[in-house]
Every structure is written in structure tokens, then in C-alpha cells.
Amino acid sequence: MKQAIILAAGEGWRLRPFTVNRPKVMLPVAGKPILQYLVETLAQSGVRNIVIVVGYKCEQIFDYMGSGEHLGVDITYVTQKERLGTAHALAQAREVAQDEFLVLSGDKLIDAATIARFVTVKPAAVLVKRVEHPERYGVANIEDGVVKDIVEQPKEAGSNTVMTRIYAFGREIFDYIETELTISAVLNKMIGCGKTIYACETDGPWLEAIYPWDMLGLNSVVILKARAEMGGTVEKGVSLKGQVSVGRDAVIRANSSVVGPVVIGDGCDIGPNVCILPATSIGDNVIVSPFSEIKNSVIGSDVAIATGSVIQDSVVGNGCAIGGHFTALSGEAEVKVNDSYHSVKMGAMLGEGCTIGSGVVAQPGAILGNYSEVQALKLIRGRLPDKSLVF
């Protein structure tokens, strides 16, 4: 197959506060949007005709991805004006679809070797994977390599084999969409009409961004594959261990310790006496002041972290200003997203443009909305909406 249709129209409301100002496919992981990793993976497998179905805040995708020339692909855009479902999104690409094509969700990270194998399968086919919590996904019931039916988010899953939302289709798929809104419903209709849907199983990495803390999992996988590059200045007395990438014009000051895998962006000022521990990615133009420690975290661009801060298993949005001795320690937390509760080991999730005073402590599982202000010596916990004031 030489064409892929990427569904990238969704907002990702469960990922808030990080998707208030950008589509979920544009969330940065180790310095690049999720969507870029997917496009690069497709290009590696020889799939260079890319159709992206856009919708929510689509101008950000246009501006960043452009024609795709800089990534070695040719991108065509179609718009889903009403975001009614995955099948409805796919239907928008009917006029530009080739005879055979892949369909992928733009918020997924998939191993390049897996895509390389999947491009050779015969349509119609679905990529499936065994997971620990199948009730979060569409569960596929399979016999002799053929899908018999698909049950979306069952209360009790009869199988741990789930749909990865990566498909190989021929143009006949469009004849079955009609009024169906989800691709799972379309596939069940095709099966009911006697069509064969093949199942191709993978045991390779497959990750998606559903909740804010999922960004940590994506980051930990991507950062392992980041190339070690040294584009900045490392002063005397700095200890670098493992795979460390330092961006252009960045400075790591004396007596700091960086243990990879770590990615540090352009124009950063780290230290002195700072400790950056594994699975941490830091955006561009970030200041990390002395005696601070960051571990397994995603730090956005244009962030300032003052002296003596400790940040673990956390995500900090772009443009945050964090006062001295801020603490976001990791721990088990029960986090509510809409009407569901999730038990997660995490630190804090800070939206864009937050201002944090000195001596603030964030409890594990704290989610702070965009452009919030927390005054000195306060405790933040639970979920706080955008533009909150904690005093």
C-alpha cells in the first residue's frame, strides 16, 4: 500500500487541559508532535501519499505539517466539519482515496516494523493487539485469523485482543459507511454481509494518548529512540550518562548531572547543580535553576523552574513560571475524568501559562488548568479548571 488516511479531527477532551489550545495529535512528545512521529513511521515504510482528515484547531496542523515535503511525503487535507465519529471522518476522504489504503488514528504511536509488515496485508484487515485492560477499547472476537465481531468498550471483555484502530481497506469500505458513525460499526455491518475481515496481530509497541498521564508513557517510549546529539554547551564538572540529546544554544552548567535517556531542547539554561533523571524531555527555551531535580517528566517550551524544585512523573505545559522549592512528587492517585475514576501513579499535570508561587506542593494526581495562578506556600490537589486562582 502506498497511501494512508490519518484521522486527526478530534479534540481529545479527556486530555484536557493540554488540548484546550491544540488538537491532541499536535501534543508534543520529546520535542515533536505525536502526528509527526506517525507520518515519519509511514514514510519509513514507503507510504508517502498521506491524507489527513482535520477538524479541531486544524490551522495548527496546516502550519506545522504543511505539504509534507520536509518529511518526505505528500500531504492532502480534507476537513470533517462536524466531528460525528471515525467512520464519518473516513467518509470525508472518499474522493481522494486510492483503491487500497491504510487508515490510522493520528494520536497513536506505532512501531515502524509493525507498519512495515502491515502495509503488505490484503484488505480488508485490522491490526489487533493483546492488552491488560481490553474494556477501554474495541474488543475483537477472532477465529482462525478472521474477525467475527467487534464489541466497543464492553463491561466484561470476552477477549483481551483489541482493535488498534489501524486498518487496511479497499474502496468498498465507503459503500458500507452510509449512516454509520464508527468504523467498528461499519466492520460489523460488513461481517454481517458476509465480507471477510482479516486480523493481523502485533506484539510491538502501540501507545495512544487518551488521558493526560498517557503523555508520560508516550514520552518514555519515544525518548529511547532519540539520537544522542550535542548542539549546546556543557560546562566542566557536568556528568552525562546514557543517551542524552542537547539542543542548539543550550547550556548545561557546572556540577549538573544528566542521566539518559533525556532530550533537552534548543536555547535551554540548565543548572548549575541540577539533576535531570531518565525519561525526561525538556522543550525549547527552558530555564531550570540550581538544586532542582526532574525525573520521568515532560516539560514544555518557555518554562521557568526556580531553585530547589522537585518534579517527578509530571507534565508541565508551555509557558509556565514555577517558583522556588516547588514539589510535585509521584504517588498513587485516584483521578476523576468526567464520570470515571482512574488509579494512576503520577505526579502533577500543569496546563499552559500557569504561575506557581514559591513553596507550592502539588499532590499526586493534581491537574491544574491553563493560565491558573497558585500563590506561595499553597497545596494543590484534585482537578482545577482553567484560570483558577489558589490563594
DSSP-derived pairing of the beta strands 275-276 and 206-208: unpaired
156 and 247 belong to one structural domain: no
204 and 249 belong to one structural domain: no
Tens of pLDDT, residues 281-297: 999 999 999 999 999 99
The string of DSSP letters for 164-196 reads: EEEEEEETTHHHHHTT--SHHHHHHHHHHTT--
200 and 252 belong to one structural domain: no
Residue 12: its pLDDT value, please?
84
How many angstroms separate the CA atoms of 324 and 307, rounded?
Answer: 5
Report residue 224 as a C-alpha cell: 529511547
The string of DSSP letters for 237-293 reads: T-EEESSEEE-TT-EE-TT-EEESSEEE-TT-EE-SS-EE-SSEEE-SS-EE-TT-E
- Locate the DSSP E strands across 64-159: 74-79, 100-105, 108-110, 125-130, 138-143, 146-152
Q: Nearest 10 degrees: CA dihedral of 131, 134, 137, 139? A: 100
Report residue 12 as a C-alpha cell: 481529545
CA angle 180, 186, 191 (to 5 degrees): 145
Residue 196 inside a domain? The answer is yes
Residue 311: its pLDDT value, please?
97
What average pLDDT does this structure show over 77-90?
89
Report residue 345 as a C-alpha cell: 501513579
> Residue 87 pLDDT > 80, yes or no?
yes
Q: How confident is the model at residue 228 (pLDDT cuts 50, 70, 90)?
A: confident
Report residue 106 as a C-alpha cell: 493520528
134 and 233 belong to one structural domain: no
Residue 335 inside a domain? The answer is yes
How many angstroms separate the CA atoms of 303 and 324, rounded?
Answer: 13
Which of 210, 245, 273 is the last residue before a domain boundary? 210
Report residue 244 as a C-alpha cell: 542524552
Report residue 54 as a C-alpha cell: 482535520
Tens of pLDDT, residues 192-227: 898 999 988 888 878 888 889 999 989 988 888 877
CATH number at residue 26: 3.90.550.10
| Parent domain of 341 | 229-390
Residue 164: its pLDDT value, please?
87
Other residues' Cβ atoms within 10 Å of the Cβ of residue 391: 8
Tens of pLDDT, residues 247-280: 999 999 999 999 989 999 999 999 899 999 999 9
> Residue 361 pLDDT > 90, yes or no?
yes
322 and 174 belong to one structural domain: no
The structure's pTM equals 0.87
Tens of pLDDT, residues 105-153: 988 888 888 888 888 888 889 999 888 777 777 888 888 888 888 888 7
Residue 244 inside a domain? The answer is yes
165 and 293 belong to one structural domain: no
Tens of pLDDT, residues 30-81: 888 999 999 999 998 889 999 999 999 999 999 999 999 999 999 999 999 8
Residue 266 inside a domain? The answer is yes
Q: How many structural domains does the chain have?
A: 2
Mean pLDDT of the chain: 91
39 and 88 belong to one structural domain: yes
| Residue reference for cell 493560565 | 371
